[in-house]
Amino acid sequence: MPESVFPEDGTPPPEQGRQGKKRGPKGKPKGRMVQPEARATIAALLGAVPLRRDRLIEYLHIIQDAYGHLSATHLAGLADLMKLPMAEIWEVASFYDHFDLVSEGMAPPPTRTIRICTSLSCMMQGGEALLQKMQTMQSAGNIDADVRFVPAPCLGACDVAPAAADGHHLVGYANTDTLIRAITTGTPHDEPEYIGLTAYRETAGYALIDALNAATPDTHAKMVSGLMSILSDATLKGLGGAGFPTGRKWSIVAGYNGPRLMAVNGDEGEPGTFKDRYYLSSDPHRVLEGVLLASHMVGISKCYLYIRDEYPEIIALLTKELALLEESGLLGGLEIELRRGAGAYICGEESAMIESIEGKRGLPRHRPPYVAERGLFDRPTLVNNVETLFWVRDILERGADWYNDQGREGHPGFRTYSVSGRVAQPGLVTTGAGATVSELIEACGGMADGHKFKGYLPGGASGGILPAHLADVPLDFGGKLAELGCFVGSHAIVVLSDKDNMWKVATNLLQFFAHESCGQCTPCRSGTEKAVSLMTSDTPDTALLGELADTMADASICGLGQAASNPLISVMTHFPGDISDAASEK
């Protein structure tokens, strides 16, 4: 008799082979009961396709998009369909900020969510004050709508600070009027103006791919060898923050036995960074051609594009253009799959991104092995940033010397700097590598009216903070910047003025890291929280903070915890007076 089948009287069958101990009647089955109607609802929503474990986060997005939250009932139905434990579904969903989990007996969230950025660039332009004002207006009954206002980490729109998102659709230069208007009339979901496939082909786009696709095996091998030599001679580096030589990385991955996979990191979450948003929303096929070139030169069989959930307009245009690219026949045997992030800064770290693509929590992996050897699904994996891929076509067509000659002395190549903060015209500056903050401020129209230059972040939230008298340090990987204990990272430059207290700036950055820590390792999880507690106390213990910073840097698993303390160390080194000033203002 099967274990789950009982006699008609409801009593269980007698135990076999055991004497002297009687089992009482079974109660209801253990675990969460699955409601047939919920299972059917989720099955209909997901469609009649085989469900894959690695697409779990995509299924969660579909449910969240449809209902505005993830109810325990629906998650139980999903777990049953995927034949996974409910706990496994719940632990993945609860890891990501953009999923709203609702247990039995809980009320679902409002049907509308407006996120207001409170990260540094937006805080400086009044983001925190705007959030408080909107919440106060709602509490007073002045907003007649089923909406909630919540803080959000960087939305990748620091050039239009303060930024907000209606759902995930951007509201730049947000204020009470624009947000009320968004609530009453809706936020336009305009498609950005970009170079589509037809226009891109008219400028010789994908010409190299045409030649590679048409080549005989012997000719293809010779072409790949020549192209790899050009890329290796070029000084192109990983422009997501690591700065690893691109040609060397491609050669390393190509050296491992296939099948080889690829992941494109479009999850720029570093406060102050918004360059990938621009490249993907203006010239996406130049990035995609970089992917196709990698497929030929490295031998990639499948590529995953991991894009921020905060960029819905980019996800929509990529979905459209990838379909056209497949119809064109240019992909050859390459398969490209688009994946949405779900609001986790840590997934900008390559191994955490890979975990997320596999449908798991975005927890960084211990290394070695490195992802080049064992990445996605334990296969050799090439990981590249959006901007890195953007330059590949031009380098291979124009030659390594063309690219190397673009930078300043000792700093070859192009760089795209995201500049925000106290400048007159925040935005992107594409120039030769090794630019200084003085040059970048000038390119952005100088300082904003009424502001005197005081300091700057040379590399986003984790790159440290430098004073104005160090404004001529070349902003590039290594060199003088590294000697000062800072790094350029993703080239996000936030300019600060005499109106900014540097201790408060560092506190905002540590609060960001405390919120975004994945929680896997104690030095980062507890260290960031403890740092915020000490920094916001009436008399910050700088000696203890220094010890804490050393521990976090030495013992954290990944770069988040290792670099999170850089801002506070920088302020204690360069702006000690701001610590007491911040305390006296309480």
Query: Exposed, middle or buried by CB within 10 Å (0-12, 13-18, 19+), for 286?
Result: buried
- Same-domain pairing of 286 and 331: yes
The tally of domains found in the chain comes to 5
- Same-domain pairing of 60 and 79: yes
* Element containing residue 149 per DSSP (H, E): strand 147-152
pLDDT > 70 in the chain, percent: 95
* Range 274-289 average pLDDT: 97
- Same-domain pairing of 387 and 426: no
| 126 pLDDT higher than 90 | yes
Query: Considering the domain boundaries, does residue 19 fall inside one?
Result: no
- Same-domain pairing of 471 and 538: no
Give the domain-ending residue among 338, 373, 400.
400
Confidence at 441, pLDDT banded by 50, 70, 90: very high
Write the CATH number for 510. Answer: 1.20.1440.230
- Same-domain pairing of 247 and 288: yes
Give the domain-ending residue among 366, 400, 434.
400
Query: Considering the domain boundaries, does residue 381 fall inside one?
Result: yes
- Same-domain pairing of 491 and 570: no
- Same-domain pairing of 209 and 312: yes
Write the CATH number for 473. Answer: 3.10.20.600
- Same-domain pairing of 209 and 304: yes
Long-range (24+ apart) CB contacts under 8 A made by 142-147 are 143/180, 143/183, 145/112, 145/183, 145/184, 146/110, 146/111, 146/112, 147/110, 147/111, 147/112, 147/113, 147/114, 147/183
Query: Considering the domain boundaries, does residue 166 fall inside one?
Result: yes
- Same-domain pairing of 203 and 270: yes
Query: Considering the domain boundaries, does residue 289 fall inside one?
Result: yes
| Domain interval for residue 555 | 501-586
Question: Which position has the higher pLDDT, 354 or 168?
Answer: 354
Write the CATH number for 168. Answer: 3.40.30.10
Query: Considering the domain boundaries, does residue 315 fall inside one?
Result: yes
* Range 137-159 average pLDDT: 94
**pLDDT for res 7:** 33
Confidence at 18, pLDDT banded by 50, 70, 90: very low
User: In the Cβ-directed half-sphere of 553, how many Cα atoms lie within 13 Å?
Assistant: 14
- Same-domain pairing of 433 and 391: no
Give the domain-ending residue among 161, 185, 209.
185
